Amino acid sequence: MNRRPLRKFKNGAFLALSLIATLTGLACLAAILWTLLSHGLAGMSWHLFTEMTPPPGGQGGLLNALYGSAVMTLLGILIGSPIGVLAGTYLAEYGKSSRLSTVIRFINDVLLSAPSIIIGLFIYEIVVVHMGHFSAIAGALALAVLAIPVTLRTTEDMLNLVPVGMKDSSAALGAYPWRTTLSVLYPAARSGIVTGLLLAVARISGETAPLLFTSLNNQFWSTNLNAPIANLPVVIFQFALSPYKDWQNLAWAGALIITVSILILSISARVLLALLQSDRGGGR
Amino acid sequence: MAIIDPRHAAKQLIYERIFRACTLSAAILVLLILGGVAVSLLRGAWPAVAHFGFSFVTREVWNPVTDEYGALAPIFGTVVTSLIAMLIAVPTGFGIALFLTELCPPLLKRPIGVAVELLAAVPSIIFGIWGLFVLAPVLQRHVQPWLIDHFSEIPALGDLFKGPPYGIGILTAGVVLAIMVLPFIAATLRDVFDTVPPMLKESGYGLGATTWEVIWHVVVPHSRVGIVGGVMLGLGRALGETMAVTFVIGNAHRISASLLAPGTTISSAIANEFTEAVGDLYTSSLIALGLLLFLITFTVIAVAQAMLRRLERRGMSAA
C-alpha cells in the first residue's frame, strides 16, 4: 500500500498552514501600523507640541501630557535601573549559584510577566493611600518597579557574557571584586547594559494601567511632582473613549507618537545588541 | 614591586563590603517587592474579604448603590476571554514558530523574527484603541452577523452566538487578546524549538520522514515541557492584560452565555471603576479583585517558569 501521496499532502497542508499563520501575524502588525499612520498623521501638527490638552471642542495639543510622560519615565528609570543593575551584578558576580540567587531569579521572571495593573494597585496602597492624593512621584515609582526586572535580567545576562579571562586578570592584579566590577566588567558590558535600559524605557513609556491610580491625569500644565500629572497613555485612554471628535484625533496623534518612539527604542536596542554580538564574533 | 600599604588594603576591604552589601540589598529588594505586593493587596482587600467572606467569589451581583459585590462575573469574563485568546493564539503562534525554525529561508529569518518581537513591544493601549475603532466595527459588520446566521439555530452551540452584534464584547476582547499574546507565544516556542538537537531531527529525515513528520514526532515530543511553559506564559499575559481589554469588553457586570454580549474582566473592572469608586467597601472589593488576579496569574506564571527552567536544565545537560 502506498501512503506516500497522503504523507506528502499532509506535509504540504501543515507547512502551508504555518505560512498562513506567519502571514496573519505580520498582517496584524501591518494593520495596526497602517491604522496608526492614517489616523495619526491627520492629527499631526505643531500644536501638539506647543499647546495643552484642550477642553472638549477646543483647540489644543499634548504638551503637558508629553512632558508628564517624559518626567515620569525618566524618574522611573533613574530609580528603577540602578536597583536592577546592582541586583543583576549580585546574581552574576556574588551569588552565582546560591539558593538565594535561584529564588531571586525565579521571582524576577515572575515579576517580568506580572500584570502591570497589580503593580499600580501596590503603589496605590503603599504611596497614594499614605500621601492622601495622586501624584507624579507615585506614578514614577510604579514605573520604576516595572523597570527593575527588565534591567536586572539584561544586566545579569550581559555580565555573564564577559570573558572569564578578563575577570581573572583583574583579580590577578590584586583587585577586589568591586574594583573588577566597576573598572572591568561594567565597561566591557556597557552596551549590553545600555540595551537593557533602552528596553526598560520602551517597556514603561507605554504603560497605562499602573498610572491610572498613581499619577492619574491633569488637564493643565504641572511640574509639581507631588500633584497629579498629565501623561500620554492616560490621555489617550480618556480621549479615545470620549465622544468628541477632536479629542479622538488627539488620542490618535498621541498613539502614533508613543508607538513610533517605542518602536524606535526597541529597534535601536536590537541594533546595539547585534553590534555587540558581531564584536564578539557572534559568540554568546 | 609595589609595597602593599596595609591601610590601603583595609580601605579596599571596606569598599568591597559596601559594594557587596549594595548589590545584595538591591537583590533582596526584588523579593521584598513581591512580598510587598502580596501584603498590601491582602491589607487593602481585607474589608471586602471580611464582609463578604467566601461568597465574594461565588456571587454575580455587582451593585455600588446597595454596596454589594461579587467577583463571579469578572472571573468568568477573564477566564472566557483568555480561553478564546489561547484557542486562536496557540495554533497561530505554533505555526509562526515552526515557520521560523524549520521553513523560513535564512535571509528572512531575522526580519520576520524582529517583526514578531516588535508586535510584542507595541503598548497594550494601542491594541485597545485599534480594537475599538478598527477591529470591533469589522467584527460587527461582517463576522458576527455571519456567526449569528449560521450558528444561532443550532441547539446548545447556538447559545454562544445569540443576541445582536454589538461589535464590542467577550468575543472581540478575546480576539484582541489573541493578537496581543501571539508574539509572546511565537517567540517562546521558537526558542523552545531551537533547543532540539539537530542530530535528532537529522535522524528523522534520514529515516525518510517528511518535514511535518519530523516536527510532529521528533520536535514536539522533545520540547513538550517547553511548549506547555510557553503557552502558560502567554496565558499569564492574557489573564492580566488590562488596557486592550478595557476598550472592547463593554464593561457589563453580568454573565451571559453569548460570546457576542458585553462582559467584564477582573483587570478591566479595576481600570474602569477604581478612580470612581466611592466608599471603602467598593474600593476594597476592587482591590480584592486585584488580589484574585495576583493569585491566579502568579500561579500560572510560576508554573510556566518552572517548566521552562526544567527544559533549560535538560538542554544544558544534553549539550
Q: What does each of the 284 residues of chain A score in pLDDT, given as a tens digit?
A: 578 888 889 999 999 999 999 999 999 999 999 999 999 998 888 888 888 888 887 788 899 999 999 999 999 999 999 999 999 999 999 988 889 999 999 999 999 988 999 999 999 999 999 998 899 999 999 999 999 999 999 999 999 989 999 999 999 998 899 999 999 999 999 988 999 999 999 999 999 999 998 998 888 888 888 899 999 999 999 999 998 888 999 999 999 999 999 999 999 988 888 887 776 654 44
Locus of grid cell 449560521: B150
Using a CB–CB cutoff of 8 Å, tell me whether A89 touches chain B. Answer: yes
Number of inter-chain CB pairs under 8 A, A vs B: 266
Cβ–Cβ < 8 Å for B72, B57: yes
The β-bridge partners of B62 are: B69
Would you call B213 and A7 a contact, using CB atoms and an 8 Å cutoff?
yes
Give the residue among A66, A91, A83, A121 at the shortest CA–CA distance from A200. A83
> From the list A32, A39, A126, which residue is nearest B36 (CB)?
A126
Cβ–Cβ < 8 Å for A222, A66: no
Q: At what angle do helices A4-43 and B72-98 cross, to 10 degrees?
A: 120
Cα radius of gyration (chain A):
23
Cβ–Cβ < 8 Å for A167, A93: no
Cβ–Cβ < 8 Å for A43, A253: yes
pLDDT value of residue B317: 55
Rounded to whole angstroms, the Cα distance separating A211 from A65 reads 13
pLDDT value of residue B24: 95
Q: Please report residues of B whose CB lies closer than 8 A to that of A213.
A: 274-275
Using a CB–CB cutoff of 8 Å, tell me whether A254 touches chain B. Answer: no
> Which residue, among A7, A9, A10, A15, would best test binding to B if mutated, counting the most B CBs under 10 Å from its CB?
A15
Query: Among residues 62-121 of chain B, which lie with CB inside 8 Å of chain A?
Result: 91-96, 98-100, 103-104, 112, 114-119, 121
The 3 state secondary structure assigned to B50-111 is HHHHHHHHCCCCEECCCCEECCHHHHHHHHHHHHHHHHHHHHHHHHHHHHHHHHCCHHHHHH
pLDDT tens by residue, B75-111: 999 999 999 999 999 999 999 999 998 888 888 888 8
Cβ–Cβ < 8 Å for A89, A160: no
pLDDT value of residue B8: 81
pLDDT tens by residue, B136-182: 999 999 888 888 888 877 877 777 888 888 888 999 999 999 999 99
Cβ–Cβ < 8 Å for A183, A170: yes
Would you call B210 and A212 a contact, using CB atoms and an 8 Å cutoff?
no
pLDDT tens by residue, B174-231: 999 999 999 999 999 999 998 889 999 999 999 999 999 999 999 999 888 889 988 9
CA distance A209 to chain B (A): 6
CA distance B19 to chain A (A): 6
Residues 6+ apart with CB under 8 A from A23: none
CA distance B154 to chain A (A): 29
Would you call B242 and A152 a contact, using CB atoms and an 8 Å cutoff?
no
| Cell of residue B104, nine digits | 523560513
Cβ–Cβ < 8 Å for A236, A251: yes
> From the list B16, B127, B129, which residue is nearest A178 (CB)?
B16
* Dihedral of alpha carbons A132, A138, A141, A142, sign: positive
Longest dimension (CA), chain B: 94
Would you call B20 and A270 a contact, using CB atoms and an 8 Å cutoff?
no
Using a CB–CB cutoff of 8 Å, tell me whether B37 touches chain A. Answer: yes
Cβ–Cβ < 8 Å for B8, A84: no
- DSSP, residue by residue, A217-236: --SS----TTS----HHHHH
> From the list B27, B213, B309, which residue is nearest A104 (CB)?
B27
> From the list B19, B28, B114, which residue is nearest A270 (CB)?
B114
Using a CB–CB cutoff of 8 Å, tell me whether A7 touches chain B. Answer: yes
- pLDDT (mean) for B115-119: 89
**ipTM value of the model?**
0.90
Would you call A266 and B125 a contact, using CB atoms and an 8 Å cutoff?
no
Cβ–Cβ < 8 Å for A54, A60: yes
Would you call A32 and B130 a contact, using CB atoms and an 8 Å cutoff?
yes
Would you call B236 and A258 a contact, using CB atoms and an 8 Å cutoff?
no
Rounded to whole angstroms, the Cα distance separating A191 from A271 reads 11
Residue A279: how many CB atoms within 10 A of its CB?
10
Parallel, antiparallel, or unpaired for β B62-63 and B68-69?
antiparallel
B210 — alpha (psi -120 to 50), left (phi > 0) or beta?
Answer: beta
- Chain centroid, CA A202 distance in Å: 3
pLDDT value of residue A280: 62
Query: Among residues 162-221 of chain B, which lie with CB inside 8 Å of chain A?
Result: 179, 182-183, 186, 210-213, 215
Query: Among residues 64-83 of chain A, which lie with CB inside 8 Å of chain B?
Result: 82-83
Using a CB–CB cutoff of 8 Å, tell me whether B272 touches chain A. Answer: no
The β-bridge partners of B69 are: B62
Rounded to whole angstroms, the Cα distance separating B6 from B27 reads 32
Rounded to whole angstroms, the Cα distance separating B60 from B23 reads 48
Give the residue among B179, B113, B159, B166 at the shortest CA–CA distance from B258. B159
Query: Among residues 222-251 of chain A, which lie with CB inside 8 Å of chain B?
Result: 233, 236-237, 240-241, 251
Q: How far is CA A240 from CA A169, B73, B131, B273, in A?
A: 58, 26, 12, 17
pLDDT value of residue A282: 43
Rounded to whole angstroms, the Cα distance separating B154 from B156 reads 6
pLDDT value of residue B1: 44
Query: Mean pLDDT of all residues in chain B?
Result: 89
**How many percent of chain B have pLDDT more than 70?**
97
Q: Please report residues of B whose CB lies closer than 8 A to that of A119.
A: 37
Strands (E) located in A144-279? none
End-to-end CA distance of chain A: 49
